[in-house]
Amino acid sequence: MKATEEKLSSKAQRVLSKSAEASVELGMALAQGLKPGDVVAFFGEIGSGKTTVIRGVCRGLGSEDIVSSPTFTLINEYSARVPIYHFDFYRIETRDEIWQLGCEEYFYGDGICLIEWAEIVEDILPSERIEIHLNNLYAEGKENTREIRIFRP
């Protein structure tokens, strides 16, 4: 974890988002830099805005599908310029469930993978990935402010 913090503080691009709309826009901008085969790993607590940013990414990639956390299915697929695979590992209970999904096919395939709760599967993610780390700044009395740090390999 310490290594992660060091990496982020030295190389991450840091943005403060002050509204859900701003986070959607950030996702749309991010989408412009994505290419087939990319894996984007989202780290951050409940309500930090992972799904909100992903909504923007999907829109930016030209998807008109409704984006919501695939809480019970673990993976949602959206059609866009490139197929999008949206994972959410929050409710995963066993490592077997992860293997049963056949994650490797997705992670090393030609679609774009957007992964919520990446901390839970960090050990099986491709090392070549974009990381987005989100933080609620609630504690500072900024209810709608999120710190978003982007790290590219």
Ligand X SMILES: Nc1ncnc2c1ncn2[C@@H]1O[C@H](COP(=O)(O)OP(=O)(O)OP(=O)(O)O)[C@@H](O)[C@H]1O
Interacting residue ranges for ligand X, rule: CB under 6 A: 17-20, 22-23, 44, 46-52, 69, 90, 116, 144, 146
Q: How far apart are CA 41 and CA 87, in angstroms?
A: 10
Minimum separation from the CB atom of position 90 to ligand X (A): 6
Interaction partner, residue 44 (Mg ion, ligand X, none; CB < 5-8 Å by kind): ligand X
Binding segment toward Mg ion, per CB under 5 A, in 9-17, 46-54, 121-129, 137-145? 46-54
Minimum separation from the CB atom of position 38 to ligand X (A): 19
Q: Tokens 């412009």 label which residue?
A: 32
Q: Which residue is nearest to ligand X (CB)?
A: 49
* Angle, vertex CA 13, rays to CA 1 and CA 133, nearest 5: 40
Measured in degrees and rounded to the nearest 5, phi and psi for residue 152 equal -105, 145
- Which residue from 4, 69, 135, 145 is in contact with Mg ion, where contact means CB under 5 A? 69
Q: Residue 45 CA to chain centroid, in angstroms?
A: 12
DSSP-assigned letter for residue 3: H
- Which residue from 17, 42, 44, 50 is in contact with Mg ion, where contact means CB under 5 A? 50
Half-sphere exposure of 133 (CA within 13 A, CB side): 15
Q: Is 40 helix (H, G, I), strand (E, B) or coil?
A: strand
Window 71-130: residues binding Mg ion (CB under 5 A): 116
Q: In the complex with Mg ion, which residue's Cβ is closer, 37 or 121? A: 121
DSSP-assigned letter for residue 109: S
Q: In the complex with Mg ion, which residue's Cβ is closer, 34 or 54? A: 54
